[in-house]
Amino acid sequence: MAKQTIRLLMPQWQGGNNPNYSFGAELLAWLAPDNDQPLIHVPVQAYDGVPLENEDGIYGRKQLLQQLEAAQHIINAHKPDRIVMFGGDCLVEQAPFAYLNERYGGELGLVWIDAHSDLVRIVGYDNGHTLPLGNLLGEGDEEFAMHVKVPLKPENVFIAGFDIPTEQDTEIIQRLGIQAAGTKELMNSTASIKDWIKQSNIKHLAIHLDLDVLDPKAFRSLLFANPEAPYDFSAAGTMPISGLLHLIKELSEEADVVGLGITEHMPWDAINLKSLLGEIPLLNI
Amino acid sequence: MAKQTIRLLMPQWQGGNNPNYSFGAELLAWLAPDNDQPLIHVPVQAYDGVPLENEDGIYGRKQLLQQLEAAQHIINAHKPDRIVMFGGDCLVEQAPFAYLNERYGGELGLVWIDAHSDLVRIVGYDNGHTLPLGNLLGEGDEEFAMHVKVPLKPENVFIAGFDIPTEQDTEIIQRLGIQAAGTKELMNSTASIKDWIKQSNIKHLAIHLDLDVLDPKAFRSLLFANPEAPYDFSAAGTMPISGLLHLIKELSEEADVVGLGITEHMPWDAINLKSLLGEIPLLNI
């Protein structure tokens, strides 16, 4: 029987506490090549002008949990073999990857392509999108982690393109024994990640792509690259687009890619142009 | 009777000899606010991998003339009171503005918001998008200008945001007596352009917006701002987005805006992301 793939569009913004993530998700889904994969919208509470509250260390905790459950319900309604997720902030990845790990007997492999580890809280920055990989491993935030029935095996996780770990990152990566390689190494050779797939006997692989792994000089539709407010609050990515594609293609040859999530698209020009068009009188009569 | 407005989507690329203009047009139309204005596609020959030929000083002359005629036919089929045009290269403006000038008895006012005059040939750069304003005035290219039944009155044209005229620009602007103001002046005060509307007794106004009038540091979806190939072959714009919106709103209060064309959208990030998504195996099964 042919494998069933669904596409989810989850314009979640609460995990980054920035309503622009919603439009980034919509544009991302619009840019994807057409095929017969159904595109299913996961309901997300739109920004209504009211600032999110910090609820026990996570802004918008209640909305995020509701939306996580909505994504779980939709996935369980379809019970697909493969899932493509268009986000939204990084936390959209929890529901599909937790499902896929169950679906494939707790043996899912996961490559986390990201300029950040998404494993641990960052002090003073209480946003849920810093935690999805932690949650998937049964760490992270207790309430979110409880929604992962079968946590991923740490040895089945590889973090790619993450160049500047914090002390907290290093602690958890070492404690759990997670594999990792930075952009420089991977652009030189993908041998380490291919060896890991073979040695871990990974058959089914999910790929998380946080677009912030890209060099913001080459790809500017990132939180980092707001033309009005240059970014200086955490490390930016350094990967070229061509190298990213090469990496994804290599992974797709080594294992059956059953999950792909693309997140954190922040298309400043399109946001600003849409806003301009929305105020031009002749376009609004 | 309510005025009828149509939106045209003309993904013409031949006038700039760059197939990316087609996608820029599609995205522009997608970003525009929804209302009940019908969106009509003007047929354009898609890039098929064959380079355009230089035909008597204009690359793709034959295709451009065919497409100009197609736009004329579509406009004449609808005979609207107002036209919104989503380009594509600047040459898409010829058909709607020539029609509107006829429609309003040869008395149409035209504000040309652009970092370039679009009046004259540029030696060594034989692309049709350097000529639309010239054609509309009965100058430009003879064969294109013949398609303008009632040329615009030069005194009814105002060039806005054009900061660095060439010698050829200065010659034709002075010879025809066209009004102009640079970005610095207009961002300080729109008095000159409002006075021109009153003194010329302009009732019906068309606005051409070449997005290249914007500062490419603030809006990077421009030919100028290719992250792979920094632009150095002609003057870039300097207008901020907020100042552009203010100008358009001021114009909309001074006259009945019956035409609006938006052109030369070159969304590099969306082009590159679409291309990446188009090659990811899981999105193409």
Residue B38, pLDDT > 80, answer: yes
Six-digit token string for B78: 């609808």
Q: Are strands B54-55 and B58-59 parallel, antiparallel or unpaired?
A: antiparallel
Q: With beta carbons less than 8 A apart as the criterion, state whether B175 and B134 touch.
A: no
Q: Measured between beta carbons, which residues in chain B are less than 8 angstroms from residue A283?
A: 32-33, 35, 37, 84, 260
Residues 31-70 of chain A with CB under 8 A from chain B are: 31-33, 35, 37
Chain center to CA of B167: 22
Chain B residue with minimum CA distance to A216: B227
Q: How confident is the model over B95-119, as pLDDT tens digits?
A: 999 999 999 999 999 999 999 999 9
- From the list A61, A62, A72, A160, the residue with the least C-alpha distance to A118 is A160
Chain center to CA of A248: 15
Residue A270, pLDDT > 80, answer: yes
Q: Measured between beta carbons, which residues in chain B are less than 8 angstroms from residue A218?
A: 227-228, 272
Partner B contacted by A213 (CB < 8 A): no
- From the list A20, A267, A214, the residue with the least C-alpha distance to B219 is A267
Q: How confident is the model over A78-113, as pLDDT tens digits?
A: 999 999 999 999 999 999 999 999 999 999 999 999
Partner A contacted by B4 (CB < 8 A): no
Q: For chain A, what is the mean pLDDT?
A: 96
Six-digit token string for A245: 């594609």
Of B217, B241, B257, the CB nearest to A282: B257
Q: With beta carbons less than 8 A apart as the criterion, state whether B250 and B194 touch.
A: yes
Q: Measured between beta carbons, which residues in chain B are less than 8 angstroms from residue A265?
A: 273
Of A32, A262, A281, the CB nearest to B257: A281
Q: How confident is the model over B129-151, as pLDDT tens digits?
A: 999 999 999 999 999 999 999 99
Q: Measured between beta carbons, which residues in chain B are less than 8 angstroms from residue A257?
A: 281-282
Helices (H), chain A: 20-31, 61-78, 94-103, 132-136, 142-145, 167-176, 183-188, 191-199, 241-254, 268-277
Q: With beta carbons less than 8 A apart as the criterion, state whether A32 and A209 touch.
A: no
Residues 6+ apart with CB under 8 A from A92: A8, A10, A12, A15, A42, A71, A85, A132, A261, A263
Percent of chain B with pLDDT over 90: 93
Q: How confident is the model over B191-250, as pLDDT tens digits?
A: 999 999 999 999 999 999 999 999 999 999 999 899 988 777 678 899 999 999 999 999
Average pLDDT of the segment spanning B63-92: 98
Residues A280, B260: C-beta atoms closer than 8 Å: yes
Q: Measured between beta carbons, which residues in chain A are less than 8 angstroms from residue B82?
A: 282
| pLDDT at position B218 | 94
Of B27, B217, B245, the CB nearest to A276: B245
Average pLDDT of the segment spanning B170-188: 97
Distance in angstroms (rounded) separating the CA atoms of residues B272 and B277: 9
Q: How confident is the model at residue B124 (pLDDT cuts 50, 70, 90)?
A: confident
Partner B contacted by A244 (CB < 8 A): yes
Distance in angstroms (rounded) separating the CA atoms of residues A207 and A248: 8
The distance of B54 to chain A (nearest Cα, Å) reads: 32
Q: For chain B, what is the mean pLDDT?
A: 96
| pLDDT at position A224 | 86
Helix (H) or strand (E) holding B95, with range, is helix B94-103
In chain A, how long is the greatest CA-to-CA distance? Answer: 62
Distance in angstroms (rounded) separating the CA atoms of residues A242 and A214: 10
Q: Measured between beta carbons, which residues in chain A are less than 8 angstroms from residue B260?
A: 280, 282-283
Chain B residue with minimum CA distance to A279: B245
Q: How far is CA B261 from CA A264, B71, B90, B110, in A?
A: 32, 13, 9, 11
Tell me which amino acid residue B170 is: T
Residues 125-144 of chain A with CB under 8 A from chain B are: none
Tell me which amino acid residue A50 is: V
Partner B contacted by A269 (CB < 8 A): yes
* C-beta neighbour count of A27 within 10 angstroms: 25
Tell me which amino acid residue A139 is: E
Q: How confident is the model at residue A124 (pLDDT cuts 50, 70, 90)?
A: confident
Q: With beta carbons less than 8 A apart as the criterion, state whether B12 and B71 touch.
A: no
The distance of A245 to chain B (nearest Cα, Å) reads: 7
| pLDDT at position B123 | 84
Q: Measured between beta carbons, which residues in chain B are less than 8 angstroms from residue A249?
A: 279, 281
* C-beta neighbour count of A135 within 10 angstroms: 28
Q: With beta carbons less than 8 A apart as the criterion, state whether A247 and A190 touch.
A: yes
Q: With beta carbons less than 8 A apart as the criterion, state whether B273 and B220 touch.
A: no
Q: How confident is the model at residue A202 (pLDDT cuts 50, 70, 90)?
A: very high
Residues B270, A272: C-beta atoms closer than 8 Å: no
Helix (H) or strand (E) holding A208, with range, is strand A204-210
Q: With beta carbons less than 8 A apart as the criterion, state whether B57 and B133 touch.
A: no
Q: How confident is the model over A217-256, as pLDDT tens digits?
A: 999 999 989 998 877 767 889 999 999 999 999 999 999 9
Average pLDDT of the segment spanning A55-75: 98
Residues A269, B219: C-beta atoms closer than 8 Å: yes
CA atoms B230, B235, B238, B239: torsion sign: negative
Q: With beta carbons less than 8 A apart as the criterion, state whether A97 and A81 touch.
A: no
Q: Measured between beta carbons, which residues in chain A are less than 8 angstroms from residue B221?
A: 269-270, 273
Query: Tokens 């008597």 map to which residue?
Result: B56
The distance of A31 to chain B (nearest Cα, Å) reads: 5
| pLDDT at position A200 | 96
Chain A residue with minimum CA distance to B85: A283
Q: Measured between beta carbons, which residues in chain A are less than 8 angstroms from residue B228?
A: 218
Q: Domain locations in chain B? A: 5-284
CA atoms A210, A215, A217, A223: torsion sign: positive
The distance of B58 to chain A (nearest Cα, Å) reads: 31
Q: With beta carbons less than 8 A apart as the criterion, state whether A282 and B82 touch.
A: yes
Q: What is the pTM of this model?
A: 0.97
- From the list A40, A55, A138, the residue with the least C-alpha distance to A94 is A138
Residues B220, A220: C-beta atoms closer than 8 Å: yes
Average pLDDT of the segment spanning A187-206: 97
Q: Measured between beta carbons, which residues in chain A are less than 8 angstroms from residue B267?
A: 269-270
Residues A277, B218: C-beta atoms closer than 8 Å: no
Query: Tokens 């459950």 map to which residue?
Result: A69
The domain B5-284 having CATH identifier 3.30.70.20: the answer here is no
List, as one string, the DSSP characters of B166-218: -HHHHHHHHHHT-EEE-HHHHHH--HHHHHHHHHTT--EEEEEEEGGGB-TTT
Residues 5-24 of chain B with CB under 8 A from chain A are: 5
Residues 6+ apart with CB under 8 A from B14: B44, B45, B52, B59, B60, B63, B64, B67, B89, B128
* C-beta neighbour count of B191 within 10 angstroms: 12
Chain B residue with minimum CA distance to A247: B280
The distance of A61 to chain B (nearest Cα, Å) reads: 31
Chain A residue with minimum CA distance to B3: A285
- From the list A72, A68, A66, the residue with the least C-alpha distance to A100 is A72
